Structure 1
Amino acid sequence: MSGKKVEDGEFLIETKRLFIREMMQADYDALCRIMCDEEVMRVAYESAFSLEEAQNWLNRQFKRYEEYGFGLWAVVLKETNEMIGQCGLTMQGWREKEILEIGYLFQKAYWHKGYATEAAIACREYAFSVLKASTVYSIIRNTNTASQNVAVRNGMNIIDKDSKSFRNVDMEFYLYAADQSVRKPGARVKL
């Protein structure tokens, strides 16, 4: 699977309120407002990342863009041109197989405004229309009800559960999935 290679700052996806584009090194400070925020990260990863871990996260996205043509992308609010979150597609392991996952993390100031759902739906449509994926998934902690609600609004249902260890902490996760039957027009995917 591969997506379209884009120039720095060029957006891949446009929705009503958002531009979604590859992250750049210039996004590091905005990324830290997500990854280094204790409250934001507690729901997904149990604790905040250090500045070095945030840079490693960003570097991992750069490698994903090179290897796959996609990864977690910057979600930019059209109104202010500010990076408010990240949402995108990554290959993740689940029970000995690789799956195409839609992941998302947003700055706390932008929670409960529908941005995660808007971005996740757009990424789902990108996966189906550009990558020609038949199914997309989201792996979500069993305690993260807000992200679970986003997955449901993205047309997904729980199909499995498992535990994974992160930073020596065992955590329970649900596997959500949606196939092409949930497709609805809405996001304009720039090809």
Structure 2
Amino acid sequence: MILETERLFLRELEQGDLSALKRILQDEETMYAYNGAFSDEEVQQWLDRQFERYEKYGFGLWAVVLKENGRMIGQCGLTMQTWNGDEVLEVGYLFERNFWHKGYATEAAIACKEYAFNKLGASEVCSIIRDTNQASQNVALRNGMKIKDAGIKHYRGEDMKHFRYVAGK
């Protein structure tokens, strides 16, 4: 276990989490900010990228698990992202649609922000969010972040406007 909150614990993703990841990454509505659901191969690549991040940085997106029943309901964690030519530390989150609007993303994101400040010694963290993703923007606001700037991310053949929400220690 990496982190624990009132209702959740966060741990490294494992190969055995593939079916839970598919519930998230293969849901069209959940993945609208990514221009659609992932194929089986893309889900495995996503999982493999987390393993690479754990090896390289000691962190990545982690499995978010409900304490009450041990069910993985999402992922949240820290990743290094390229933003306007710089490497920035991002708090990222993506949850199974059945668990939206229950405060889980905010609870996990706050814990990850505190982890970045207190365990990694970061002075700043951000969340890079597509301009149309109001729910994720609301999580960033509840995580004490404010819009610092905007930019374009090229993803799946399309240029997409994103905002960078930032919080400092």
TM range (shorter): over 0.9
* Aligned match of 1:16: 6
User: Residue 41 of structure 2: which of 52, 59, 83 is its match?
Assistant: 52
Q: TM-score, normalised by structure 2?
A: 0.99
User: Residue 127 of structure 1: which of 116, 119, 124 is its match?
Assistant: 116
* Aligned match of 2:21: 31
Unaligned runs of 5+ in 1: 1-10, 181-191
Letter in 2 for 1:143: T
Letter in 2 for 1:77: L
Letter in 2 for 1:93: T
The percent identity for this pair of structures is 64
User: Residue 74 of structure 1: which of 63, 68, 87 is its match?
Assistant: 63
Q: Residue 149 of structure 1: SS of its match in structure 2?
A: helix
| 1:49-101 deviation line (CA, Å, top 9, x unaligned) | 10110000000000000000000000000011000000000000001110000
Mapped pair 1:61 → 2:50 = yes
* Aligned match of 1:88: 77
Higher relative contact order (CA 8 A, sep 6+): 1
User: Residue 116 of structure 1: which of 105, 112, 122 is its match?
Assistant: 105
Letter in 1 for 2:19: D
For these two proteins, the number of residue pairs brought into alignment is 169
Q: TM-score, normalised by structure 1?
A: 0.88
Shift, 1:128, TM fit? 0.4
Partner Cα separation in structure 2 for residue 172 and residue 134 of structure 1: 26
Unaligned runs of 5+ in 2: none
Shift, 1:165, TM fit? 1.2
Question: Structure 1 segments of 4 or more deviating over 2 A?
Answer: none
